[in-house]
Amino acid sequence: MKPEQIEKWLPHRFPFLLVDRVLEIKPGESILALKNVTYNEPFFTGHFPERKIMPGVLIVEALAQAGGILLWHSVENPESVFVVLSKIEEAKFRKSVIPGDQLKLYARLVKLKATFCVMETQAMVGDEVVAEARLVAGVLKKDELDEKS
């Protein structure tokens, strides 16, 4: 799937769009996506200048964005909802992610209700798990959000 399609499914834009490509998607089940970690990532200027390491929170965000794409393909009328990350459970960071790594982002839908979903996620570099977490996201109706603003 092309970057233009990813921008249709996610509200994020540079420098916060952290999914480069979707390799496989099974609506209502799972997704496999990629994030190419380059030397030019904006966060590397401060984390850390002498030993560049991708912040764990951004790895989790990349996993959440992959999960957001999965949700887009798993709910009715995806244009009518806005998905927000609401809980991170059991997050584990097993290995540093550095420039040149390619993150494989895997998310599996565990539960999908009208107002929330639960996903099991893993980020891998090669065959090694570098991070994993159970993510909970709120599924909000856009028209209700518009009424509150």
> What separation in angstroms does the CA of 113 have from each of 62, 73, 110?
22, 14, 10
Catalytic residue IDs:
47
* Nearest to 87, CA basis, from 50, 120, 134, 54: 134
Q: Reduce the DSSP state of residue 100 to 3 states and report it.
A: coil
Phi, psi of 93 (to 5 degrees): -115, 120
